[in-house]
Amino acid sequence: YAGSPTDAQANNAKLLDAMRAVPAERRSARFYAVIVLLRHPEDPQPLIAEGSWEGVITTEPRGTGGFGYNPVFLDPVHGLTAAEMDTALKNRLSHR
């Protein structure tokens, strides 16, 4: 997102800067993942699994756990960013 070479901190900083003027009610975010399992190349019935996690983008990074956008992705139900959660809670809520 922030170009190459870059890191998660630079990506988060660019995202927060781009969203600086966005009000709280419009800062919705979603993690989304899909995995497909083919048992063989011509599999007519692949197994498809999807997961999503709804949240909001914070105004500042919070927490030190995880990676990527975790410090700026807030779960509004728990009031924590993904980077502030312990592993058990994050695994229970995660899109993966």
Does 1 have pLDDT greater than 90? Answer: no
Does 93 have pLDDT greater than 90? Answer: yes
Look up the pTM and report it: 0.88
Cβ contact 31:66 at 8 Å: no
Residue matched to tokens 């756990």 = 65
Sketch the domain layout of the chain as residue ranges: 8-93
Structure-token pair, residue 96: 């993966």
Q: How confident is the model at residue 6 (pLDDT cuts 50, 70, 90)?
A: confident
Summarize the confidence of residues 75-87 as an average pLDDT. 98
| Domain at 8-93: CATH code | 3.90.950.10
- pLDDT digits 0-9 by tens, 12-68: 999 999 999 999 999 999 999 999 999 999 999 999 999 999 999 999 999 999 899
Of 80, 84, 81, 94, residue with least CA distance to 52: 94
